């Protein structure tokens, strides 16, 4: 294995997760986000309407409650769109990795993160795009975004990552 160019140990805390979300998540709202919620709502309304009109002999209390269940799913889906950042941060803070130290290594082969719960290596040749922001780097591998915060990097490490950016 090659000698590390840069190595640091840091803790995955709420501010780190918030920075990751802010830099990598799609923040825009599109009507397409509401398709699942609308589908749940329509299914729920159909079930409630069929039950209320007694068109089908199978109409029972279960189908009636099932209709309201789908309406509830629609409401939850809308809330998950509205509070996307809060929901995502809560899930990350509930994960095993939260609050635990991570070892970050940058060398000739790529970027490696190791902790008790996550071991990941991003090889330079697998990274299709590197976008630099004011506070970090967004790395795209197989159409998935990964984030590298500058608050854990020194100037030499930032320059080394910049050297691997696409021309």
Give this prediction's pTM: 0.74
| pLDDT of the residue at 101 | 93
Tell me what pLDDT residue 166 has.
64
pLDDT single digits (tens) 13-38:
999 999 989 988 877 777 888 999 99
What's the distance, Cα to Cα, between the start and end of the chain in Å? 28
Instruction: Output the CA–CA distances (angstroms, integers) from residue 22 to 58, 96, 97, in the order listed.
Output: 49, 21, 19
Predicted pLDDT at 55: 62
Judge contact between 3 and 107, C-beta under 8 A.
yes
Question: What pLDDT sits at residue 137?
Answer: 93
Q: Is residue 130 classed as helix, strand or coil in its secondary structure?
A: strand
Q: How far is CA 128 from CA 6, 96, 106, in A?
A: 22, 29, 17
Which of the residues in the chain have pLDDT under 70? 1-4, 54-62, 166-167
Fold category of 6-26+93-163 in CATH: PH-domain like (2.30.29)
The pLDDT value recorded for residue 37 is: 94
Six token digits for residue 124: 């330079």
- Residue matched to tokens 């290596």: 121
Confidence at residue 3, expressed as pLDDT on a 0 to 100 scale = 65
């Amino acid at each position: 294995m090659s000698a590390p160019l840069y190595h640091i140990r840091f803790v995955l805390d709420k501010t780190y997760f918030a920075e990751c979300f802010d830099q990598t998540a799609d923040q825009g709202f599109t009507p397409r986000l509401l398709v699942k919620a609308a589908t749940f709502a329509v299914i729920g309304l159909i079930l409630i309407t069929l039950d209320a009109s007694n068109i089908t002999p199978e109409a029972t209390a279960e189908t009636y409650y099932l209709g309201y269940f789908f309406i509830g799913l629609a409401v939850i889906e809308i809330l998950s769109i509205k509070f996307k950042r809060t929901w995502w941060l809560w899930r990350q803070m509930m994960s095993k990795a939260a609050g635990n130290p991570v070892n970050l290594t940058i060398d000739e082969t790529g970027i490696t993160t190791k902790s008790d719960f996550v071991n990941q290596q991003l090889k330079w040749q697998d990274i299709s795009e590197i976008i630099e922001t004011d506070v970090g780097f967004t790395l795209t591998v197989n159409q998935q975004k990964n984030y590298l915060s500058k608050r854990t990097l020194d100037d030499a490490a930032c320059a080394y990552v910049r050297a691997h950016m696409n021309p």
